[in-house]
Every structure is written in C-alpha cells, then in structure tokens.
Structure 1
Amino acid sequence: MTILVTGGDGHIGWPTALRIATRTDDRVILVDNFARREWVEEVGSVSGVPITSIDERIEAAEEVHGITNLSFVEGDLVEKAFVDELLAVHEPDTIVHTAAQPSAPYSQINGERANYTQHNNMQATRNLLWGLEEHDLTDTHFIETTTTGVYGAPEFPIPEGGATMENQGEADEVPFPAMAGSWYHLTKSHDAANLRLANSQFDIPISDVRTAITYGTGTEETEADPRLATRFDFDYYFGVVAHRFAAQAVAGYPMTVYGKGEQRKPFIAMEDAVEGLAELALIDPDDRPDDHVVYNQVTRAISIVEVAETIADVAGEFDLDVDVKHYENPRDEDETHKMEIENDRYADLIDGQDTTFEEGVRSILGTLVEYDDRITAHEDRFLPGVLTDDED
C-alpha cells in the first residue's frame, strides 16, 4: 500500500504524514515544491518556529520515531507531466491532498496573486483527479482538505454535507451553495464541486474534509524533537487569527481585533485535525465509503474577541502583559455573525477527541516564548500593507 501526502512540507501536511507513518508500515510519500516557504518570504516574514529542511526532517523522523517508510518527491502539481509520472511510478492507494496556496489575504492583494492562487490550487486538484482516471487508479481514496470558508456566513446552521432543497412539492439533496468571500476560498468551492464531479464521473472515493481555522504549534510527533517542528506563520497574510494574536502577545504588541469581533468562526486544534486525516488515510479499503463524503473538520465556533481574551488570560501565566484593542475592520463581514456548524461525522471520526481552545493556547504560548526574538523582529508583519521588493 502507498499513501501520498501532497503539501508534505506544510503546516498540516508534515505532521499528518508523520502521524500516518508512525501508525503503518505502508509507504508514505511526501510531495511538495516548497512554495509556502517562498510565499512567506515574499511578504517579508518567517515561520515563528524554526523549521529544518525536508531531508533533516525525514532523517530525524527515523532517528526519533523509528520511521523508515517516509520518503519525499519534489515537484509542482500544477505540471501535468509531473503528476502523470508521480501516479504512474507510485500508484498510490490513498492521496491526502493538503497542497494549496492557503491564504485569503494573500489572494486578495492584487489580480496577479488572485490569478496565481486560483490557477495553482484548482489546476493541482484537477491534475490529480484526472490523473487517477487516466492511469486507471480510480479505486484510490482521494482525501482533500478544502475549507469551512466555502460556506461563507449563512444565517442558518451549516450541514455536514449537502442541503435539502424543496421546490413545488419536490425535494432533493444539493451541494451547499458556494458563499466564499475571497479568491482563495473560491478555489476550494470549485475544488469541492470538482471532487463531487470526479466521484460521479470516475467513481473515485472522495473525502472532502472542510477544514476550520487550525491552531497549534505542533503535535505529539512534531514536538518530540526541534528538527521535526512544523511551520508556524503569524503574519497578516499567512498567520491565522489565533496564531497572529498569540504572536502579538509574545511580542508585547496589542492584539488587533477588527471591528466588534463578535463574529464566530470555526476552529480546530492541530492535534484534532491531524488525527482525523490520519484516520481517513488509514481506513481499511473494505470499510471506506465508495461515495463522496463531506466532513466538517471543526470542533467549536469561537468569536474573535473571545479568542483574544482567552489568549490575554493565558498570557498571564507566562508573565506576558497584553492588551486587546479594536481596529477598523479591513474586511467586508458581519461582525456579529453567530455561526452554527454541524460536525457529528467528523467527531465520530476522531472518536470525540477534543482539545480545548485554552489548552491549545497554553501550548502555543509555551512554544512561542522560546522564539520571542524571532517574532519581535518581524512584528511589522502583524498588520496588512507591508510587502517586499515586488510590492505593487
């Protein structure tokens, strides 16, 4: 058996691959082109937690965890010839597709980056799906991390999967309408539609894992040795809100809540996100569904102001004195939206495992205080509008 993890150098891809590799003797192959490192450098930032090269990571995985079934292939999934060779040579039984340009703010900078994001993300997914069809690999379980952002902010509970639509006394289940609010999130809306189509046309078993805001500096596996650390972005463009707030707390910088901050967003701890992906990747082929299945990879919805206040409270345990300040919101969003989202299917997948937000924050701050100099040196990247030489 062979499991392919795309985006294997990334924030979620690397710890997911590690967990899978510790639980199976099957071959686990990482694929990446290191673009995430380049994007963050482009906006003038760094990973708050230092990360080593992929070769050092794999060497450390064997030394620390005894992992001998992990290997790496460098390449760009946008290039069809590379994807064709990858699939022909390795014939994966499972693909965990975490590779993407993941930042909504980055995709919103200008038309060039919007175009790049949409081409990069959707072309990679299409190449993989069509590659499976063209290489007679349609039994391969295709697992993609899309995003809960495809749902937008509807005023009703979000289902885990399709929605029932009624018209003139007739009813049917239809895909949830794409209400994404950025050029990045629309790539995942299109991916979700293409995943459904690939299942319908090619009979590829699909798991569409709609990932919430994922927070954390690592997992049990990555925290065993500094060489195994996964990246932690904290800048405006690539740092999710919980990471940016935590870094601001460590730097002694006021936490920047945009607007009222009462809008609730879906969150999940990295530990819980990685667990679900590993469970899906390792499911017995005889037990996995042949259909298209949607999982809302979320454990709770939290308001932005609650995120800031929780970080401020926990920061006191580390002798950090932080303020929560409200700024004009640069985004067009309902600042009081109370999101409700179903997650029963995903909760069953991780057997009810649920890291509390406070526990996650405590772990993040405990790690970041070791690298406070690294963060304070880039504190000008907390806010938008600062780019490097190619600013336009």
Structure 2
Amino acid sequence: MTILITGGDGYVGWPAALRIADRTDERVLLVDNFARRGWVEDVGATSATPVASIDERLDAAREVHGLTNLSFVEGDLAEKSFVDELLAVHEPEVVVHTAAQPSAPYSQINGERANYTQHNNLQATRNLLWGLEEHDLTDTHFVETTTTGVYGAPEFPIPEGGSTMENQGERDEVPFPNMGGSWYHATKGFDAQNMRLAHTQFDIPISDVRTAIVYGTETEETRADDRLKTRFDFDYYFGTVTHRFCAQAVAGYPVTVYGKGEQRKPFISLEDAVEGLAEVALTDPDERPEGLTVYNQVTRAISIVEIAETIADVGSEYDLDVAVEHFENPRDEDETHKMEIENDRYADLIGGQSQSFEDGVDDIFGTLTRYADTIEAHEDRFLPGVLSED
C-alpha cells in the first residue's frame, strides 16, 4: 500500500507526512515541486525557521524517528503527464492532497498571480481526480485540505459541509455555496465542487477537510531535531495573522489590530491539524464514512483582539514588552462579526482540541526567540511592499 502526500515539503504537508509515516508501516510517498519556497522568495521574505533540504529532512526522519517508509519524488501536479506517471507507477490507495498556492494576499497582488493561483490549484486537483479515474484507481481515498474560507462570514452558524434549503415547502440538503473572498479561496470552492463531481461520476471516496487558519511551529515529531522543523512564514503575504503578530512582538513592534478587532475567525493548531489528517488518512476503509465527507478542521473561533492580547500576555513570559495598538481598518468588514462554525465531526475524529491557543502561542515564542535575527532582518515584510524582480 502507498499513501501519497502532495505538498510534502509544505507547512502542513511535511509534519503531516511525519505523523502518518509514524503511525503506519505502509509506504508514504511525498511529492512537491518546492514552489512554496520560490513564492516566499518572490515577495522578498523568508521562513523564520531554517528549512532543511528534503534530503536532510528524510535523513533526519530515519535517524531520529526510524521512519524508513518515507520517500520523495519531485514534480509539478499541474502537469498532467507527471500526474499520470506518478499514479501509474505508485498506485496509491490514499491521496492526501495538501499542495496548493495557499495565500489569499498573494493571489490578490495582480492578475498574473491570480491566474497562476487558479491554474496551479485547480489544475493539480483536476489532474489527480481524473488520473484516479483513468488509471482504474477509483477505490483510492482522496483527502484534500480545502479551507473554511469557502464559507465566507455568514450571520448564522456555519454547517459542517452542506446546509438545508427550503423552497415552496420542499426541503433538501445542498452543498454550501462558495462565498470565498479572494482568488485563492475561490479555487478551494471550485475544488470542493470538482471533488463532488468526481465522487458522483467516478464513485471516488472523498474527504474534504476544510482547514481553518493554522498556527504553530511544532508537532510532536518536529520537536526532536532542527532538521525536522517545518517552515514558519511571518510576512504580509504568507504569514497568517497569529504568525505575523508573534513575529512583530519578537522584533519589538506593537501588535497592530485593525479597528475594533472583535471579529472572530476559525483557528486550529498545527498539532491538531496534523492529527486530523493522520486520522482521516489512516482510518480503515470499512470504518470511515461512505461517499463524500466534509470536515470543518477547526477547534475554535478567536477574535483578532483576543489573539493580540494573548500574544501580549504570553510574550511577557519571554521578557517581551508587547504593545497592542488599534489602527483604522482599511478593509471593508464587520469588525464585530461573531463567527460560529460547527465542527462536531472533526472534534470526534481527533478527540477534541489537544493544544490550547495560549499553549500554541507559547510554542511559537519558544521557537521564534531563537530566530529573532532572521525576523528583524526581514521586518519590512510585515507590510505589503515591492516584489523582488528575480
């Protein structure tokens, strides 16, 4: 049996591969084209944590954790010929698809990057889904990390996947509409629709794991050796709000909250995200839900101002004097929106949240204070700026 993990060099993909490989004796094959490293360099930024080469990572996985079942192949999933060869040679029984251009701000820079994001993300998913059909692999369990961002910010509790629609006295369960607010988020809405089509037309078992904003620097496996660390982006384009705020604190800058900052967003720790993907990937076929299953991969909703205040509190334990400052909000958004999102199916999968937000922030500071020089050298990347010309 082979478990294929796309985006295996990425922030979530790499630690998920370690967790999955540690839980099974089956072969775990990573695939990546290292594009994420190039995108971050494109905006003049870098990972705060040094990112080892894939060969160094695999060596460390073998030496530290005894993971002899991990291997890697380099290639571009947007190229159909590569995907066809990949599936024909390795015939995976599970595909965990974490590969994508994941940044909404990057997709919004200009038309070129919007086009690239949509071509890259949609083409890769279509190639994999059609490849499973064309290579007689329709029993393969296809797992993709989409995003809770496809839901937008409705005023009612967000369901775990579908919703009930009523018209002229008749009711039916329908997929939640794609309400993503960026060219990136739109790709994940289209992916969700394409996965639904692949299930309907090809009978491929699908798990659509709608991932919230992930925060954290470590998992159980990555702590053991610096060569196993995953990346940590803190710039405007690829650094999520918690990561940017923590990096600002380490560099001696105030944490900047736009407007009231009372709007809540869905979050999940890296540890809990990795655990969920491992559970979905390794569940026995006879025990997993049939058909197409949507998981809201989220453990709690947190307001932006709560994030800032928590970072200030935890930062004091690292002798960081963190100020929280409010600025006029340049975005057109409800600064008091109280998001509610259902996650019963996902919570049951992982047995509930294993790491609190406070502990996750403590983890981040424990790592970032080691690499303060790197953050300070790139502190101009906290805000959008001129892209590199290389």
TM-score (norm 1): 0.98
Q: Deviations over 1:48-92 (max 9, x none)?
A: 111100000000000000000000000000000000000000000
Shift of 1:343: 0.3
How far residue 239 of structure 1 moved from its aligned partner, in angstroms, is 0.3
What displacement does 1:178 show? 1.0
- The runs of at least 4 consecutive aligned structure 1 residues that moved more than 4 Å come to none
The separation in 1 between residues aligned to 2:290 and 2:131, in whole angstroms, is 18
Indicate yes or no: 2:383 matched with 1:383.
yes
1:37 Cα shift? 0.1
Deviations 1:166-216 (A, max 9, x none): 001111000001111000000000001111111111100000000000000
Deviation at 1:219? 0.3
1:233 to 2:238 alignment: no
Q: How does 1:83-94 map to 2 (within 5 A)?
A: 83-94=83-94
For 1:367, the aligned partner's letter is: T
Question: 1:203 touches 1:290 (CA, 8 Å); kept in 2?
Answer: no
CA offset digits 1:207-262 (Å, max 9, x no partner): 00000000000201011100000000000000000000000000001112122211
Q: Please give the residue correspondences for 1:367-378 in structure 2 after superposition, counting only pairs within 5 Å.
A: 367-378=367-378
Aligned position for 1:145 = 145
1:10 pairs with 2:10: yes
Q: Is the 8 A contact 1:264 1:304 kept in 2?
A: yes
Classify the secondary structure of the residue corresponding to 1:332.
coil
CA distance, structure 2, for counterparts of residue 326 and residue 127 of structure 1: 45
In structure 1, what is the Cα distance between the partners aligned to 2:255 and 2:384? Answer: 14
Q: In structure 2, how many angstroms separate the alpha carbons of the residues matched to 1:73 and 1:88?
A: 14
Which residue type is aligned with residue 107 of structure 1?
S
Structure 1, gaps ≥5 residues long: none
Q: Gaps (5+ residues) in structure 2?
A: none
Q: Any idea what SS the aligned residue of 1:133 has?
A: helix
CA distance in 1 between counterparts of 2:114 and 2:331 reads 16
In 2, Cα distance between equivalents of 1:261 and 1:386: 27
CA contact (8 A) 2:299 2:353 kept: no
Q: Amino acid of the residue matched to residue 20 of structure 1?
A: I
Residue 287 of structure 1, CA deviation = 1.6
Amino acid aligned to 2:25: D
Structure 2 residue aligned with 1:203: 203
1:242-261 to structure 2, matched below 5 A, reads: 242-261=242-261
Q: Percent identity?
A: 80
1:103 maps to: 103
Instruction: Tell me the TM-score normalized by structure 2.
Output: 0.99
Q: 1:126 maps to what in 2?
A: 126
**Alpha-carbon contact 2:299-2:352 (below 8 Å) kept:** no
Q: Structure 1 counterpart of 2:42, which letter?
A: E
Could you say which residue in structure 1 is the equivalent of 2:362? 362
| Other-structure match for 2:29 | 29
Q: Distance in 1 between matches of 2:243 and 2:211?
A: 16
| Paired position in structure 1 for 2:178 | 178
Checking the alignment, whether the CA contact within 8 Å between 1:49 and 1:232 is kept in structure 2 is yes
SS in 1 for 2:265: strand
Separation in structure 2 between the aligned mates of residue 67 and residue 61 of structure 1, nearest angstrom: 6
Aligned twin of 2:116: 116
Measure, in 2, the Cα distance between the counterparts of 1:209 and 1:177: 16
* 2:214–2:267 contact (8 Å) kept in structure 1: yes
Distance in 2, matches of 1:275 and 1:292, equals: 20
Higher deviation after alignment, 285-294 or 177-186: 285-294
CA distance in 1, matches of 2:93, 2:142: 9
The answer (yes or no) to whether the contact 1:299–1:354 under 8 Å persists in 2 is: no
Q: Does structure 2 conserve the Cα–Cα contact (< 8 Å) formed by 1:245 and 1:308?
A: yes
Paired positions, count: 390
Q: In structure 2, what residue type is equivalent to 1:100? A: A
> Paired residue for 2:66?
66
Determine helix, strand or coil for the equivalent of 1:207.
strand
Question: Which amino acid in the other structure matches residue 382 of structure 2?
Answer: F
State the secondary structure of the residue aligned to 1:62: helix
Report the AA paired with residue 291 of structure 1. G
Q: Deviations over 1:99-132 (max 9, x none)?
A: 0000000000001100100010000000000000
Q: Is 2:111 the partner of 1:136? A: no
Residue matched to 1:218: 218
Paired residues for 1:185-334 under 5 Å: 185-334=185-334
User: Partner of 1:51 in structure 2?
Assistant: 51
